Structure 1
Amino acid sequence: MWPNAVAHALSRFEWAFEQPGRYLNASEVYSPGLEVEDARDDLEWAMLHLPPGAKRDLGRLLARIDEEFERRTLPEPNNIEWTMAGWWWTRMRER
């Protein structure tokens, strides 16, 4: 990963969760081509390579991020093939 990759991924979630509304808006992205699902991929990858203490700390943050992401998205049954990429890719945002 590149320097500050975890901080950058966390900032994408912070930005998304600050947006108004019950559901995350699919038409609003942090930056073109950089969805929060991509940020979640980056955090998952970081979890595989962090030392134990940092992994525990990030894991606590991820649990809260995942809970909020799941609360603000809906299941997308047509994207079930994305499950292997990460459960967060099987969720949809409001258009």
Structure 2
Amino acid sequence: MWHGAVAEALHRYESFLRKPGRYLYLSWSDCPCCDPTDARDTLEEALRRLPPAARGRLGAVVARLDAEFLRRTLPDPRAASVSSWHAAAWWRQRIRET
């Protein structure tokens, strides 16, 4: 991971969740900077690599954001069948804009 990767990922994830509206839909953009699931992937990698104390602190922040993400996005029952990559993480299994 590069210097500042966690801060950038948190910023992108939080920015997505600040959008107005009851429900948020993920875009199909190929640009990782526009995809909150890419940011969540980075946060997951950081959680795996951090020592226990730092993991706990970051984990608490990510858990709060995840709860909001789950509340404001809808599950896509077909996502897991798209690819093994989609099936590997719950945050990739949310409805995307068409």
TM-score tier after normalising by the smaller chain length: 0.7 to 0.9
What do residues 25-81 of structure 1 show as CA deviations (whole Å, max 9, x unaligned)?
435x7x933200000000000011101110000110111111000011001011124
Number of the residue aligned with 1:70 = 70
SS of the aligned residue for 2:20 comes to coil
Conserved? CA contact 1:24–1:94, under 8 Å: no
Aligned-pair identity (%) = 48
Conserved? CA contact 1:80–1:90, under 8 Å: yes
Q: Which runs of 4+ in 1 moved over 3 A?
A: none
* Structure 2 CA distance for partners of 1:70 and 1:8, relative to 1, 3 Å: same
How much does 1:94 deviate? Answer: 5.2
* Structure 2 CA distance for partners of 1:36 and 1:59, relative to 1, 3 Å: same
CA distance in 2, matches of 1:93, 1:18: 17
Q: Which amino acid aligns with 2:93?
A: T
CA distance in 1, matches of 2:92, 2:9: 16
Structure 2 gaps, min length 5: none
Q: TM-score, structure 2 length as denominator? A: 0.83
Conserved? CA contact 2:25–2:73, under 8 Å: no
CA distance in 2, matches of 1:64, 1:93: 22
CA distance in 1, matches of 2:24, 2:97: 6
**1:83 matches 2:87:** yes
Q: Which amino acid aligns with 2:69?
A: F
Question: What is the correspondence of 1:17-32 to structure 2 with a 5 Å cutoff?
Answer: 17-27=17-27, 32=31
- Structure having the larger proportion of residues in strand: 1
How much does 1:93 deviate? Answer: 4.3
Would you say how many aligned residue pairs link Structure 1 and Structure 2? 93
